Each structure stands twice: as structure tokens, then as C-alpha cells.
Amino acid sequence: MRFITLRPLSQLGLAMVLAVVLTWTGFTSGVYIGQALDGRQTDLRLDTMREAYEAKIAAMQGEQRLLEESLEAARTRADRIGQRLSDKQTALVQAANELQEARLELDGLRTAYTETHAKRTRELDRITDLESELASMQLQFTETATAHDGMTDAIQVFSETMEQVIDERDMAHRLTEELAIEVETLSAEVVRWESRQERVMTQLEEAARTSMEGLERVFDRTDLDLDRILKQTKRDYTGAGGPFVPLTTEEAAQAADEEELRVAALVTDLERINLMRIATERLPLGQPVTGMRLTSGFGPRRDPFKRRMAMHNGIDWAGPRGTPIKATGHGVVSFVGRQRGYGIMVKIKHAFGFETIYAHLSRARVKVGQEVERGDRIADMGNTGRSTGTHLHYEVRIGNKPVNPAKFIEAARDVL
């Protein structure tokens, strides 16, 4: 056996090296164990966050399905109402066509009646002439027979002539009776067509009156100058002209007939209804969102930031971020972008000096100069600008002067 003898200084150095090795081994083992524990905790947190995020996605998908169902129901209702309005307008046009056909057929019957009556009068005159001729011939026959019994041949000729005249008279009588029956039939037909024309006219007048009352209520509720709007609509959508040709006395008398005046009044009412319908299509009468909660109306209110009374120039609806915002009427986009206090904003110019504003949006889906129709999606609801939460601020302006949008939304229920 061999023994290694170390000096005290060497033993001390060896002990220090061994201590360092043991210390480093323990430290690395602790670090490895800590990292393993931290990784397991991180995995647990990630699993928890993933489950919460999946639950949130499922909830948002449920809300989206509900919103899509509400939108589909609203579209179905709008289609039904549009179909009813189209059916009413089709019925009006069909009734007007039937009235025109009835008038043409009635005119034909009247002409036939006049001709038949004139023909009957001529036949009666002819019968009178034949009877006069027969009486004259009978007188001549009597005078000839008395004056000259030997004129047998002349008597035979006169007899044959009288028989022919009698046959013609009888035929004229039969023709007169047939014409009288035909006149009675035509008279009954004229009465029947006049009754039918009266029913058609009454139905047309009632339908026109109902349509006009509904459309006039729209303008009454919105305090708009109906005559000014109709005048501008007529200038934009109608045209007439031609040389001036004065009526003759007879034509003027026919135009003054009560029935003609009634038809002319009905045509005037139908033209007015059509102009009002065109005008309502060009006005911002729709609602920009459906099924949302109204949070603030038009007029004075307490400012949500300064807590002092201030004027609110529009209507606010609250809803989820991204809720579709719809144009309320036909128009042209005049501004898209950010504006102080309004955040992201879309502005649309409409006919008759109207303008609508849609503010605090999260996203605009139109561009300046784009033409839009009522119901087109123009933006998404958001929380930009001077806003306390996700909502839509909607304004209606006439000549840059704010008016209450609620009046237009309420009025639209009569026609939309």
C-alpha cells in the first residue's frame, strides 16, 4: 500500500475546490427545478386564458347570431311593407287602365247607339213616305177605276205596285221593331257601362284619397313645406310642352263636362301622389340602426363630461361595437373622416337641402362622392371622439340647421 501525504496548504486548496464544485452542482439543480415549476405554471395559465377566450368567442358568436336574426327579421318586414306598397301602386295603375278601357268601350257604345237611333229615325221617315205614297196610289187607283173601267192593265200594274209598297212597308215595320229592340239593348249596355265606370271611378278616388292622406301625414309630422318640395320634385322628374292651340267652343263645352272634370281631378290627384312618393324616397326618413337602446334624445340635456346643461343636436343609440349603421335616405356622401368632438364621422347630402350626420364610428364603409340608397350599410358603430361608450350619434340638418330626427323616424312609419 502506498500513502499520499499532502501538505496542509494543499489540503486546504483541495477542500475549497470540492466546496465550489458542490455549491455549483446544487445551484444548477435548483435552477433547473425552478424552471420546470415555472413552465408548468405558465402552461396552466395559458390553458386558463385559452378557455376564457374560447368562452368569450362563443358568447360573441351567439350575440352575432341574434343580431343577424334581428336584421333578417327587419329585412323581411321591410320586404313585406315594400311589397304591400308595390301591390297598392299596381292596383291603382290597373284600376286606371280599366277605367280607360271602360271609357273607350262606353264611347263606342254611345256612337253605336247614336247611329242606330239615326237609322231608326230614317226608317220611320221612310215608312211615313211609303204610307203617303200608298195612300196617293190608292186614290189614283180609285179615280182611274171610276173614270175608266177598261184600264185593266193599269189597274194590274197599280195593284202590283201597291203590293210591293205594302211589302216594303211591312219590312220597314219589322226593321223598325228590330232597331227598337237593338236600341233598348244598347241603352241597357250603356247604363251598365256607366254604372261600372262609376264604380271604378269611386274605387280609384278612394284609393287615391287614402294614399294621399298617408303621404300628407309624413309632411305634416315633419313640418316641411310640401308645396315647395313638390314643386322642386315636379321640376326634376316631369316635363311638358308644345305649341298653344286654343279649344273650339264645342271642345271647351266637352271639357267642362262634369265627368271630364272628375277624371281630370283624379289624374291630378294621382300625379300629386306620385310626386309625394318620389319626394319621400329622396328624404332621410329611415332609421340608422334597429333594435338598439335609445340613450339620449334631441334637445337640452346634461353634458356627460362637464355635467352642465347643453344642447344635444341629435339622437344617440347604444349598442355593441361594429353594429351596422344604415343610410336613412338616398343621397351622396359629402364627408368621411375625423372631426373634433364627433370622432370618425360620415356626412350625407340629400335632396331639398337635407343633410344627415353619423358620428363616433369605429369604421366608415363609404367614400366621398359615393351615391347611397336608404338601407345601405355606410359604417360600423364605435366609441371615437367625445364619447363615453360605444354608440351612434345621428343628426338631421336642413340648410345646416339641426332639426329633431325623431319627427322623421316617426313619420316614416306611414310609408316605410
pLDDT (tens digit per residue) in 103-129: 888 888 888 888 888 888 888 888 888
Inform me whether the pLDDT recorded for 218 exceeds 70: no
Strand partners, 50: none
pTM for this predicted structure: 0.48
- The reported pLDDT for the residue numbered 288 is 95
Mean pLDDT across 67-92? 80
DSSP codes joined into one string, 212-249? HHHHHHHHHHHT--HHHHHHHHHHHH--------PPPH
**Distance, CA of 371 to CA of 361 (rounded, Å):** 20
Residue 45 C-alpha cell reads as 395559465
Using the structure block, give the residue that is written with the C-alpha cell 386558463. 48
Contact 335, 358 (CB under 8 A): no
Question: How would you label 41-50 residue by residue, b for 16+ Cβ within 10 Å and e otherwise?
Answer: eeeeeeeeee
Scanning the structure block, which residue is given the C-alpha cell 298617408?
214
Average pLDDT for 300-323: 88
- Please give the residue that has the higher pLDDT: either 147 or 136: 136
275-302 per-position pLDDT tens digit: 777 777 778 988 999 889 999 989 888 8
- Asked if the model's pLDDT at residue 410 lies above 50, the reply is yes
Mean pLDDT of the chain: 79
What pLDDT score was predicted for residue 1?
47
What pLDDT is attached to residue 135? 81
**CA–CA separation, 343 vs 153, rounded Å?**
123
Handedness of CA 218, 413, 347, 295 (dihedral sign): positive
Which has the higher per-residue pLDDT, 114 or 314? 314
Cβ–Cβ contacts within 10 Å for residue 328, how many?
Answer: 27
**At a CB cut-off of 8 Å and minimum separation 6, what does 78 contact?**
375, 416
Q: Worst-scoring range by mean pLDDT, 3-12, 108-117, 197-206?
A: 3-12
CB count in 10 Å sphere of residue 366: 19
Higher pLDDT among residues 180 and 343, named by residue: 343
Across the range 75-97, mean pLDDT stands at 80
Vertex 315: Cα angle to 312 and 318 (nearest 5)? 120
pLDDT in the model for residue 208: 60
Neighbours of 57 (CB within 10 A): 10
For the segment 326-338, what is each residue's pLDDT rounded down to a tens digit?
999 999 999 999 9
pLDDT at 249 over 90: no
Query: What dihedral do alpha carbons 102, 209, 77, 298 form, nearest 10°?
Result: 160
**Structure confidence at residue 212 (pLDDT):** 59
